[in-house]
Amino acid sequence: MTLKGKNISILGAGRSGRAAAALALREGAEVSVFDEAASIQGFDARVTVFPSTSVDQGIANQCDLLIVSPGIDTYGPLVKAFSQQAKKVVGEMEFAWGYYHGDTIAITGTNGKTTTTEIVNRILNVSGTTCEPCGNYGTPLAEIVMMENPPAAIALEASSFQLETIVTFKPLVAVWLNFAPDHMDRYTSVEQYHAAKCRIFENQDANCTAIVRKGEKLPALAAQVVEFSTESDTDWTSNGITIEHRGELILHTERDTCLRGLHNAENIMAAIAACEVLVKPLKLIEAFDGYVPPPHRCELVRTLDGVEYLNDSKATNLHALESALRSQTRPVVLIAGGKEKGLDYQSVVPLLKAKAIAAVTFGQIAEPLGTVFQHAVPTTIVVNLQDAINTARKLAPRGSTILFSPGTSSFDMFTGYEQRGNTFRTIVNNIL
C-alpha cells in the first residue's frame, strides 16, 4: 500500500506504536494514535494523539489503515470498534515487514523463543551476516526498518498476538519450537491459540524453509521441512549434551556453551538449522563463546564441586517447572516453593521420580508442596531460600544439578521472579 496522503490510525501508544507512527510518517501518511491511557507522549508533533480512547470513538473513526500494537487484544472491543470503518487492519509487525527487504528468520513457540532469537542473532553476526533481534523481543520491526543501514537479516520473535494480524508476512525461514496451552485469558480455546501460531507458515512456499520440532501437530507445510528432536533420530538430534546433524557431531553443549538441558539443546538445534539456510559455514564456537541465556531461565550460575547450579526463577507456574525438570540430563536436587496459588502439584510426581534424587521446599507453600513431593523423592521443608540452598548443597553429589525452579510466584518473599533469581545467584556465588 502506498501511504502518501493516506489516513493511518494506530491503536496503542507504546514502543511499537511509536515506531509504526514514525514509519508511517516517513512514508507520507497522515497519522493518528489512540490509546486508553490518560496521557500519550513521545510522538512527533505531526502525529495527532487521542488519549482515553473509547469504543464509541473507535466506531466513529474512519481510516485507510488500522495498525494494531501487539499488546492490544485483537479480539477485544476496541479493535472490533476501530475495525468497523477501517479499510484494512494489520499489526505493527505485518505493517513494518512490508518495508523490510532483507532475509527473515521468524521464531515462534510457547517456550524458548527469546533464547533461540538471541542465538540466531549471535550466530549470523559472528558468521558475517548482519542481523538484529526484533519483534516480540528486542526492537520493534518498524524501528529496524527505519535504520540508516538495516541489517541483512532479522531474527524475529513472533508471538501468537503478532501472527493474528498478518496478511503478506512470509519469512524465508520459520521456526516452530514447541506448543503447550498458554494465554487462555486471551483465547477461547487451545485450538484458537494453536491456529494463531500456525499462521507463521501461512504464506511460505517451496522456496522457504520450516524448522520444526519432530512430532508437533502442524498443518501440511508448503516449505522445505527440517526437523530437530531430543527424542528420536531426524535431521538434527541431541541427547542434551551433544548436537548432531545426520550423525555428524556439530557441538558439545557442556564444553562449548553455557546452555543446559534438553530444551536448550532444542533451541540450539533450531537456531543452527535456521542460520544454515542463510550462511555456510557457521562460526559456532565463536558464536557461543561468552553467550549466556536470558537470566532466570535455567541459567547456569556456577559449577562447584562438580555440581551445577541452575537459576530457573522465571518458572512461576506448574508448566514451567515441569519443562525445566523434563529437560535435565543430570540427577536433580530440586528447590521449589513460593506463594500459595492453590495449584495441584500432583502431576509433578512422576517427573520427580524420573529426574530427581531429592527436593527442598521453601516459602509460603513449603509444607503442602513438601507433602506432595515426598511421595516421589526424599523432601526437606525449610523456611527461606538461604536454608534451601544450604540444604540442597548437602544433598547434591558430584555430577548432579541443583535446579532452582520454584513452580509458583515469588510474592510471598520477593518483589518478583527477577529479585528472587538475583537472590539465588548472589547466595550461590558467595558460597566459599
How does pLDDT run across 208-240, given as a tens digit for each residue?
999 999 999 999 999 999 999 999 999 999 999
The residue out of 46, 66, 87 marking a domain boundary is 87
Residue with the three cell numbers 536436587 = 333
Mean pLDDT of the chain: 94
Among candidates 257, 276, 263, which has minimal Cα distance to 230? 263
Q: What sign does the dihedral 25-70-79-39 (CA atoms) show?
A: negative
Statement to judge: residues 120 and 227 lie in one domain: yes
Instruction: Determine, yes or no, domain membership for 18.
Output: yes
The count of other CB atoms within 10 Å of the CB of residue 132 is 21
Averaged pLDDT, groups of 10, the chain, 432 residues long? 93 95 98 96 95 97 95 90 97 97 95 91 98 92 97 96 94 93 71 94 98 96 98 95 96 92 92 98 96 86 96 87 89 96 86 97 96 97 98 98 95 93 98 92
Statement to judge: residues 80 and 221 lie in one domain: no
Statement to judge: residues 241 and 157 lie in one domain: yes
CA distances 121 to 25, 146, 266, 292, 369, Å, are: 29, 19, 16, 13, 40
pTM of the model: 0.81
Distance CA 87, CA 94 (A): 16
Statement to judge: residues 312 and 219 lie in one domain: no
Burial per residue of 60-93, b for 16 or more beta-carbon CB atoms within 10 angstroms, e otherwise: ebebbbbbbbbebebeeebbebbbeebeebbbbb
Q: How far apart are the first and last CA of the chain?
A: 63
Q: What is the CATH number of the domain that holds 322?
A: 3.90.190.20
Statement to judge: residues 127 and 68 lie in one domain: no
Say how many domains are in the chain: 3
Q: What is the CATH number of the domain that holds 18?
A: 3.40.50.720
Statement to judge: residues 273 and 304 lie in one domain: no
Distance CA 389, CA 386 (A): 5
Statement to judge: residues 171 and 202 lie in one domain: yes
What element of type H or E holds 204? none
Contact 188, 194 (CB under 8 A): no
Statement to judge: residues 373 and 393 lie in one domain: yes
Statement to judge: residues 140 and 283 lie in one domain: yes
Statement to judge: residues 195 and 310 lie in one domain: no
The count of other CB atoms within 10 Å of the CB of residue 290 is 8
Instruction: Determine, yes or no, domain membership for 36.
Output: yes
CA distances 193 to 161, 172, 208, 416, Å, are: 9, 23, 24, 27
The residue out of 58, 87, 116 marking a domain boundary is 87
Instruction: Determine, yes or no, domain membership for 47.
Output: yes
Domain that holds residue 150: 96-288
- 266-315 residue pLDDT tens: 999 999 999 999 999 999 999 999 998 778 888 899 999 999 999 999 88
Statement to judge: residues 37 and 101 lie in one domain: no
Residue 301 backbone phi and psi in degrees, to 5: -85, -45
Burial per residue of 373-385, b for 16 or more beta-carbon CB atoms within 10 angstroms, e otherwise: bbebbebbbbeeb
Instruction: Determine, yes or no, domain membership for 2.
Output: no
Instruction: Determine, yes or no, domain membership for 1.
Output: no
Instruction: Determine, yes or no, domain membership for 294.
Output: no
The residue out of 288, 313, 336 marking a domain boundary is 288
Statement to judge: residues 79 and 101 lie in one domain: no
